[in-house]
Structure 1
Amino acid sequence: MTLFQVNEWLDEYNYYMLLYEMFGDQTYLKEGEEIMRSMEKYVGRMLILEKFKHA
């Protein structure tokens, strides 16, 4: 995953949160939450890889 892809994820998250704020549809909130969970997993993996690089 590249920085560009991370930026796309963040853009998508912001889009869903805006839709949720505008319309209050829980579907948008759930999509945003799923994006954040994916990002957290990705960041966790990247931190582990960085740790092993410097070990």
Structure 2
Amino acid sequence: MVLIQVNEWLDEYNDYMLLYKMFGDQIYSDEAKEILESMKKYVVLVLEHLKLTASC
């Protein structure tokens, strides 16, 4: 399983939220939400992988 750089995702999320707070453009908020959804999916995959490896 390839490890994703979660710190990079968090940095990108924080950048988009800062831009949203500064300019109020909904596009920035939408991008931040998309990053959160990607991270949630990644966490589910990692947890499933951990369960599989623990049961072996």
Identity %, equivalent residues: 57
After superposing on structure 2, the runs of 4+ consecutive aligned residues of structure 1 that deviate more than 4 Å are none
TM-score (norm 2): 0.89
Gaps of 5+ in 1: none
Q: TM-score, normalised by structure 1?
A: 0.91
C-alpha RMSD of matched pairs (Å):
1.1
Distance in 2 separating the partners of 1:2 and 1:18: 26
SS of residue paired to 1:14: helix
User: In 2, Cα distance between the equivalents of 1:52 and 1:28?
Assistant: 37
Q: SS of 2:47's equivalent?
A: helix
Correspondence list, 1:29-40, <5 A: 29-40=29-40
Deviation at 1:23, TM superposition (A): 0.8
| Count of aligned residue pairs for this structure pair | 54
What does 1:19-38 align with in structure 2 at a 5 Å threshold?
19-38=19-38
Deviation at 1:2, TM superposition (A): 3.1
Instruction: Map 1:37-52 onto structure 2 (within 5 A).
Output: 37-52=37-52
